[in-house]
Structure 1
Amino acid sequence: MALSSANAIGYKSMLDSLTTAVLVLEDDLRIRYLNPAAESLFETSITRSQGLPFSDLLMDSEDALNTLHAAAGNGQSYTRREAEFTLTSGSRLTVDYSVSPISLVPTELLIEIQPRDRLLRISREEDIISQQETTRILVRGMAHEIKNPLGGIRGAAQLLDRELNSEDQREYTRVIIDEADRLRSLVDRMLGPNKALQLAPTNIHEVLERVRTLLEAESKGRVLFLRDYDPSLPEFRGDKEQLIQAFLNIARNAMEAAFENQAAQQDESPPTITFRTRALRQFTIGHKRHRLVCRVDVVDNGPGIPPDLLQNIFYPMISGRASGTGLGLSITQSIIGQHHGLVECESEPGQTDFIIFLPLEDTP
């Protein structure tokens, strides 16, 4: 029996109470019904959408629409896993959905949609946190193995330097000492901050404003900085100086990449960096759910990060620039991790967005 009959009233009451997004489409794929979960998912309402083609809710989903037409034609059910929908607002959704015919003449389709983005993000974040911990253990072990012989090499060079009478020969021992010091400094930087956090009430906007001021001075006004702050964000317990260093690493990388891209493309538009803050409630980072989280976006209009590099940019010694050391983002991830937060990156040509999540309540 079609949902349009009088008996549909009882079904509608049940569907309205579901957390699963449910839509009913007519045989020409016009929208007959959305439950509240579907209204939230598609960022619309039944009043605005009823009678509209389903394609009005989606962009670039030709394959999904063709499959729906086929289901309406042959009356067969089917399921899709991890399909991607792009809404007219530009938002992208990864979903599992099932299509079931619920009447024969005319054919109506019942679509059940389960968003997967949250589960996929949690899984991805758990992988990132696991990779960070593995990398930290490997780097600390490697640092220990490097620093021990370096100390012996430096000590032997100092002893040899005292025994030599020729200034020309001492020049070689000083090169050994200087290079040993340089390598030791490099290893220390790979390890990241080695002092305990100095926690105190911290305002995230003060941190970002300090970063902006420093980079404005470095760039001599050649970078356009845009700010989109949520003034309702409360203070949290953090190490202000280390957080400044973490955000400075991200924003400086963005600025340098934008300058290089501008020179290579001979583009007259100025490098632009946007700082954006938002509050997220009941948000999960890794496996832990937080009552309130601060999301910070650092967005630049540079060339973007190649996909093959994007998955590895937080590892030490990985850099997309010839002049980069590959340590800045690794250090940033370490500092944010000590604050029980996480750094992610989304990039495409012309825009790179570093997303930083920081819990705003005390975390043991």
Structure 2
Amino acid sequence: MTTSSLNPFFIKALESISSKILIADKDLKVIYLNKSAEDFLNTTLEESENQETSKIFTEKPKNDLELKELFENKGHLKRHITTLFLKNNLKKKASFLANFFETEKREKYIIFEFFNADKSALEAKRERRFKGDVITNAFSKVLAHEIKNPLSGIKGSAQLLLNKIEDPDSEEFLNIILRETNRITKIIDQISKKNFQLNQKFLNIHSVLEKIPAFVNSLDRSNISVERDYDPSIPLINADDNLLTQVFYNLARNSIEAIESAKKGTKLIIRTRIIYETFINKTFHKSACLIEINDNGPGIPEDLIDSIFFPLVSTKKITSGLGLAISRGIITQHNGEIDCVSDKKGTTFSIILPIEERSDLLKEEINA
């Protein structure tokens, strides 16, 4: 199918809108793009027609396999702030949505819609995040104070009893109480001060992510599948294995609980990519590791999406408790960012962690 065979009214309508639209056939060859998409992708319809989409725009690594899967599952693919590589070595920060479409004649297509990485929107989002962090910090300190007061009473009483009794079994139980109250106090201090003790080492991020399927199985959720889409070119990153595992468990648990409560959704998709020339917390990095945990559940209400990382946020579709607030603290301490996008088709949690330049060298040394 070519542009000439498309309905003239259809073409005229697409040319009149500001949305950036590209249509590809089942072989991922371009059959049409409107004027807005031409300007955005630095090409023309004449140059692009019958060319593979990867010749017009691509990501690193290439996304051809993901796009071809859309024809099989009749689904959609969403990218939130990615780097598009265009002709003439141009690069552009953008988001895009790829939707499967089938005509009455059973002709199959993918319709791409591209979005600018709006700087003002990003700044507004950072401002909301900053305000949210202020609220979270204040709440965490009050919560820590309220919990530590009774803990101090428990600890003091246990110490007094320990000095008065002579029964070895009772002493053992009291020592357990003292040890556990100290441990809880330490955890509360870490949460309230966002000062998690990092035991960092260079690691393969996929070895950490591979714990998620076993975790899902341990929750006895046989109806939920876990799919992997890994970028094998990601070098080692400097991180705390145990704390990142806690973050990934929190995100997976939230997705599963949302799916179960709404009785909608059947899978989690774990995806990794390298992104280039990006800012993390206003600091420029040549490269970073992007980790996405996506579900096809009910989504998060729009009026709550900016507050889900606050402590004790809870709705019928998400019950984060302290999990997401703690997760943000852990990722922030790794000099990374965590974000969330959601609609009625599902939710995607995105984590960006910096890749230290020397980690490439370390990977080469280990593989040598």
TM-score > 0.5 by shorter chain: yes
User: Relative to 1, partners in 2 of residues 1:119 and 1:279: Cα closer, same or farther, differing over 3 Å?
Assistant: farther
- Would you say the 8 A contact 1:314–1:333 is kept in 2? yes
Further displaced range: 84-93 or 344-353: 84-93
Match of 1:315 in 2: 310
Runs of 4 or more off by more than 3 Å in structure 1?
37-40, 42-46, 84-92, 151-162, 183-195, 321-325
CA shift for structure 1 position 191: 3.4
User: Relative to 1, partners in 2 of residues 1:157 and 1:126: Cα closer, same or farther, differing over 3 Å?
Assistant: same
User: Relative to 1, partners in 2 of residues 1:192 and 1:352: Cα closer, same or farther, differing over 3 Å?
Assistant: farther
SS in 1 for 2:219: helix
AA at the equivalent of 1:138? A
- Would you say the 8 A contact 1:123–1:286 is kept in 2? no
Match of 1:296 in 2: 291
Match of 2:327 among 327, 332, 344: 332
- Would you say the 8 A contact 1:192–1:331 is kept in 2? no
- Would you say the 8 A contact 1:122–1:285 is kept in 2? no
Inter-partner Cα distance in structure 2 for 1:349 and 1:39: 30
User: Relative to 1, partners in 2 of residues 1:89 and 1:322: Cα closer, same or farther, differing over 3 Å?
Assistant: closer
- Would you say the 8 A contact 2:334–2:353 is kept in 1? yes
Where does the alignment leave 5 or more consecutive residues of structure 2 unmatched? Answer: 1-11, 18-32, 50-94, 99-109, 163-176, 359-368
Inter-partner Cα distance in structure 2 for 1:252 and 1:154: 32
User: Relative to 1, partners in 2 of residues 1:44 and 1:228: Cα closer, same or farther, differing over 3 Å?
Assistant: farther
User: Relative to 1, partners in 2 of residues 1:296 and 1:148: Cα closer, same or farther, differing over 3 Å?
Assistant: closer
Q: Are 2:149 and 1:149 aligned? A: yes
- Would you say the 8 A contact 2:223–2:266 is kept in 1? yes
User: Relative to 1, partners in 2 of residues 1:282 and 1:119: Cα closer, same or farther, differing over 3 Å?
Assistant: farther
CA shift for structure 1 position 154: 3.4
Match of 1:233 in 2: 234
Which structure 2 residues correspond to residues 339-350 of structure 1 after superposition, within 5 A? Answer: 339-350=334-345
Q: Sequence identity of aligned pairs in percent?
A: 29
Match of 1:70 in 2: none
Match of 1:91 in 2: 113
Match of 1:212 in 2: 213
AA at the equivalent of 2:354? P
Match of 1:138 in 2: 138
Match of 1:272 in 2: 267
AA at the equivalent of 1:91? E
Inter-partner Cα distance in structure 2 for 1:288 and 1:345: 20
| CA shift digits 1:80-130 (9 cap, x unpaired) | xxxx9988744342xxxxxxxxxxxxxxxxxxxxx4524522542354245
Match of 2:280 in 1: 285
Q: What is the TM-score normalised by the length of structure 1? A: 0.59
- Would you say the 8 A contact 1:282–1:292 is kept in 2? yes
| CA shift digits 1:318-341 (9 cap, x unpaired) | 123499461111111111111111
CA shift for structure 1 position 352: 0.7
- Would you say the 8 A contact 1:122–1:286 is kept in 2? no
SS in 2 for 1:219: coil
- Would you say the 8 A contact 2:298–2:317 is kept in 1? no
SS in 2 for 1:221: coil
* Root mean square deviation of aligned Cα: 4.4
- Higher radius of gyration, 1 or 2: 1
CA shift for structure 1 position 246: 0.5
Where does the alignment leave 5 or more consecutive residues of structure 1 unmatched? Answer: 1-24, 51-83, 94-114, 163-176
Aligned length: 263
Match of 2:73 in 1: none
AA at the equivalent of 1:154? I
CA shift for structure 1 position 213: 2.0
| CA shift digits 1:133-159 (9 cap, x unpaired) | x24531453145324532454368769
- Would you say the 8 A contact 1:301–1:351 is kept in 2? yes
SS in 1 for 2:314: coil
| CA shift digits 1:270-325 (9 cap, x unpaired) | 62000111111001123111100111111111111111221110001112349946
Match of 2:126 in 1: 125
User: Relative to 1, partners in 2 of residues 1:137 and 1:29: Cα closer, same or farther, differing over 3 Å?
Assistant: closer
